[in-house]
Amino acid sequence: MRLAVPFATFVIAAALLAGCGGSGEGDSEPATEAAPQAKGSTVPAGASAQECEGGAGAKAKLRATGISCAAALDLTKAWKRSNHCAPAGGASRSSCELAGGYRCLSVVTERGVSVSCARPGRSIAFTAKRG
């Protein structure tokens, strides 16, 4: 009986560890693969981030990666116009999809609503005033 409890604990822990991991279809890239490189450059894809003048009532500068400042500003305006992107009522988080395949996540903070929108190879981040 003394060995039964530690043995059962070990079996349960092993089963839990074996069950950890993604439930995906297995079509994702291996974690050891290097980040994609920008075309014609030796700089990693995320290194091309640039700060743009804020939009959509932003209190902080707009940050864009893999997208022009003008296109990023248009995306902030589309986020602001959308009725379902900003957290509603007392909610602290929200998500939505915008034209062009961008998925946006929003979180209410002390400074406003922190927004991050991305699609493969492109992303923007900004802080908007609370509604």
Q: Is 11 among the domain residues?
A: no
Q: Is 44 among the domain residues?
A: no
> Which tokens is 37 given?
């490189």
Containing structural domain, residue 68: 49-128
Note if the pTM is more than 0.85: no
Q: Which residue has the higher pLDDT, 13 or 90?
A: 90
For residue 10, the tally of other CB atoms under 10 A from its CB is: 10
pLDDT at 37 over 70: no
Q: Is 30 among the domain residues?
A: no
pLDDT at 51: 84
pLDDT at 130 over 80: no
Counted domains in the chain: 1
pLDDT in tens, 73-129: 999 999 999 988 999 888 999 999 998 899 999 999 988 899 999 999 899 999 888
| Cα gap 120→108, rounded to integer Å | 25
